[in-house]
Amino acid sequence: MIRVLAPLCLSLPLFATLPTTQEALALAFPGAQLARREFVLSEAQAGQVKALAQVELPGRWTVTYEARRNGTLVGVGFFDTHRVRTLNETLLVAISPEGRVLRVESVAFHEPAEYMAKEAWVKQFGGKALDPQLSLKGAIHPLSGATLTAHAMTDAARRCLALHQVLYREAK
Protein backbone atom coordinates (compact mmCIF):
# COMPACT_ATOMS: atom_id res chain seq x y z
CA MET A 1 0.00 0.00 0.00
CA ILE A 2 2.78 2.41 0.98
CA ARG A 3 4.48 1.69 -2.34
CA VAL A 4 1.35 2.87 -4.10
CA LEU A 5 0.51 5.85 -1.90
CA ALA A 6 3.96 7.34 -1.33
CA PRO A 7 4.78 8.17 -4.97
CA LEU A 8 1.23 9.48 -5.41
CA CYS A 9 1.52 11.81 -2.43
CA LEU A 10 4.99 13.02 -3.30
CA SER A 11 4.02 13.71 -6.90
CA LEU A 12 1.26 16.12 -5.86
CA PRO A 13 2.02 19.82 -5.32
CA LEU A 14 3.29 20.60 -1.85
CA PHE A 15 0.67 22.10 0.41
CA ALA A 16 3.08 24.16 2.48
CA THR A 17 5.15 25.56 -0.35
CA LEU A 18 4.03 28.90 -1.66
CA PRO A 19 5.18 30.39 -4.93
CA THR A 20 8.47 32.23 -4.86
CA THR A 21 8.42 35.95 -5.51
CA GLN A 22 9.51 35.27 -9.08
CA GLU A 23 6.82 32.67 -9.59
CA ALA A 24 4.19 34.97 -8.10
CA LEU A 25 5.19 37.77 -10.48
CA ALA A 26 5.08 35.34 -13.40
CA LEU A 27 1.59 34.21 -12.35
CA ALA A 28 0.40 37.81 -12.14
CA PHE A 29 2.06 39.05 -15.33
CA PRO A 30 2.60 36.08 -17.64
CA GLY A 31 5.11 36.75 -20.38
CA ALA A 32 5.84 40.30 -19.25
CA GLN A 33 9.22 41.99 -18.91
CA LEU A 34 9.75 43.04 -15.31
CA ALA A 35 11.77 45.90 -13.92
CA ARG A 36 12.45 46.69 -10.28
CA ARG A 37 12.01 50.27 -9.20
CA GLU A 38 12.52 51.97 -5.86
CA PHE A 39 10.71 54.95 -4.42
CA VAL A 40 11.27 56.99 -1.30
CA LEU A 41 7.98 58.72 -0.58
CA SER A 42 7.96 62.34 0.50
CA GLU A 43 6.22 63.14 3.74
CA ALA A 44 3.29 64.54 1.78
CA GLN A 45 3.05 61.40 -0.37
CA ALA A 46 3.15 59.14 2.69
CA GLY A 47 0.37 61.16 4.27
CA GLN A 48 -1.65 60.90 1.08
CA VAL A 49 -1.21 57.11 0.94
CA LYS A 50 -2.36 56.78 4.55
CA ALA A 51 -5.36 59.00 3.93
CA LEU A 52 -6.36 57.07 0.82
CA ALA A 53 -5.77 53.61 2.27
CA GLN A 54 -7.12 54.31 5.76
CA VAL A 55 -4.46 51.94 7.06
CA GLU A 56 -0.94 52.40 8.42
CA LEU A 57 2.06 52.74 6.12
CA PRO A 58 5.02 51.08 7.81
CA GLY A 59 7.74 53.05 5.99
CA ARG A 60 8.46 55.44 3.17
CA TRP A 61 10.80 53.20 1.19
CA THR A 62 8.85 51.23 -1.41
CA VAL A 63 9.89 48.81 -4.12
CA THR A 64 7.69 48.07 -7.11
CA TYR A 65 7.95 45.62 -10.00
CA GLU A 66 6.79 47.15 -13.26
CA ALA A 67 5.49 44.68 -15.84
CA ARG A 68 5.66 45.62 -19.51
CA ARG A 69 4.64 43.87 -22.71
CA ASN A 70 6.07 45.32 -25.91
CA GLY A 71 7.14 48.35 -23.91
CA THR A 72 3.66 49.07 -22.59
CA LEU A 73 3.07 49.07 -18.84
CA VAL A 74 0.53 46.33 -18.09
CA GLY A 75 0.70 46.38 -14.33
CA VAL A 76 2.71 46.93 -11.19
CA GLY A 77 3.48 44.42 -8.45
CA PHE A 78 3.90 45.39 -4.80
CA PHE A 79 5.20 43.04 -2.12
CA ASP A 80 3.48 43.93 1.14
CA THR A 81 4.77 42.45 4.40
CA HIS A 82 2.52 42.70 7.44
CA ARG A 83 1.81 40.99 10.74
CA VAL A 84 -1.08 38.52 10.84
CA ARG A 85 -1.24 37.37 14.47
CA THR A 86 2.25 37.49 15.89
CA LEU A 87 4.11 36.52 12.74
CA ASN A 88 4.36 38.00 9.27
CA GLU A 89 2.89 37.33 5.88
CA THR A 90 4.09 38.71 2.56
CA LEU A 91 1.68 39.20 -0.31
CA LEU A 92 2.17 40.14 -3.91
CA VAL A 93 -0.55 42.59 -4.85
CA ALA A 94 -0.60 43.01 -8.62
CA ILE A 95 -2.38 46.13 -9.85
CA SER A 96 -3.49 47.14 -13.32
CA PRO A 97 -2.61 50.57 -14.80
CA GLU A 98 -6.24 51.57 -14.16
CA GLY A 99 -5.81 50.90 -10.42
CA ARG A 100 -7.61 47.60 -10.01
CA VAL A 101 -6.32 44.47 -8.31
CA LEU A 102 -5.22 41.89 -10.87
CA ARG A 103 -4.13 39.23 -8.43
CA VAL A 104 -3.17 38.68 -4.80
CA GLU A 105 -0.70 35.94 -4.08
CA SER A 106 0.82 34.92 -0.74
CA VAL A 107 4.57 34.33 -1.01
CA ALA A 108 5.43 33.98 2.68
CA PHE A 109 3.19 32.95 5.55
CA HIS A 110 4.78 32.26 8.91
CA GLU A 111 1.66 31.61 11.00
CA PRO A 112 0.31 28.04 11.25
CA ALA A 113 -1.15 26.87 7.95
CA GLU A 114 -4.76 26.78 9.20
CA TYR A 115 -4.76 30.58 9.41
CA MET A 116 -3.92 30.91 5.73
CA ALA A 117 -6.67 32.21 3.46
CA LYS A 118 -8.01 29.74 0.94
CA GLU A 119 -7.51 30.36 -2.75
CA ALA A 120 -11.23 30.84 -3.45
CA TRP A 121 -11.44 33.51 -0.77
CA VAL A 122 -8.38 35.40 -2.05
CA LYS A 123 -9.90 35.53 -5.54
CA GLN A 124 -12.47 38.01 -4.18
CA PHE A 125 -9.87 40.77 -4.50
CA GLY A 126 -9.68 40.42 -8.28
CA GLY A 127 -10.96 43.55 -10.05
CA LYS A 128 -11.42 45.54 -6.84
CA ALA A 129 -10.44 49.23 -6.81
CA LEU A 130 -9.61 51.51 -3.90
CA ASP A 131 -13.04 52.46 -2.63
CA PRO A 132 -14.95 52.06 0.65
CA GLN A 133 -16.37 48.73 -0.57
CA LEU A 134 -12.90 47.21 -0.32
CA SER A 135 -13.42 46.12 3.28
CA LEU A 136 -14.69 43.14 5.25
CA LYS A 137 -17.86 45.08 5.89
CA GLY A 138 -18.29 45.77 2.19
CA ALA A 139 -17.55 43.73 -0.88
CA ILE A 140 -15.03 41.41 0.77
CA HIS A 141 -16.76 38.56 2.58
CA PRO A 142 -15.28 37.65 5.97
CA LEU A 143 -13.14 34.56 6.39
CA SER A 144 -14.55 32.31 9.08
CA GLY A 145 -11.87 31.11 11.47
CA ALA A 146 -9.14 33.38 10.15
CA THR A 147 -10.42 36.86 10.89
CA LEU A 148 -6.99 38.38 11.45
CA THR A 149 -5.70 37.01 8.14
CA ALA A 150 -8.72 38.48 6.37
CA HIS A 151 -8.16 41.89 7.95
CA ALA A 152 -4.43 41.82 7.22
CA MET A 153 -4.97 40.92 3.56
CA THR A 154 -7.66 43.53 3.06
CA ASP A 155 -5.45 46.20 4.63
CA ALA A 156 -2.54 45.15 2.40
CA ALA A 157 -4.69 45.43 -0.73
CA ARG A 158 -5.83 48.92 0.32
CA ARG A 159 -2.26 50.00 1.10
CA CYS A 160 -0.90 48.80 -2.25
CA LEU A 161 -3.76 50.37 -4.21
CA ALA A 162 -3.11 53.67 -2.42
CA LEU A 163 0.62 53.46 -3.18
CA HIS A 164 -0.21 52.77 -6.81
CA GLN A 165 -2.56 55.74 -6.90
CA VAL A 166 0.07 58.12 -5.53
CA LEU A 167 3.15 56.78 -7.31
CA TYR A 168 1.72 55.94 -10.72
CA ARG A 169 -1.65 57.51 -11.34
CA GLU A 170 -1.25 60.91 -9.70
CA ALA A 171 2.41 61.20 -10.67
CA LYS A 172 1.52 61.08 -14.37
- Which of 71, 118, 171, 172 is close enough to bind other proteins by CB under 8 A? 118
**By C-beta, is 9 or 171 nearer to other proteins?**
9
Question: Is residue 38 close enough to count as binding other proteins by CB under 8 A?
Answer: yes
**By C-beta, is 102 or 146 nearer to other proteins?**
146
Report which of 130, 56, 150 is spatially closest to residue 140, judged by C-alpha positions: 150
Question: Is residue 90 close enough to count as binding other proteins by CB under 8 A?
Answer: yes
**By C-beta, is 19 or 170 nearer to other proteins?**
19
What is the closest distance, in whole angstroms, from the C-beta atom of residue 58 to other proteins in the complex? 9
Where in 153-172 is the site for other proteins (CB under 8 A)? Answer: none
Residues of this chain that bind other proteins (CB under 8 A): 9-10, 12-23, 25-26, 33-38, 54, 61, 63, 65, 79, 81, 85-88, 90, 107-108, 110-113, 118, 120-121, 123-124, 132, 137-138, 140-145, 147-148, 151
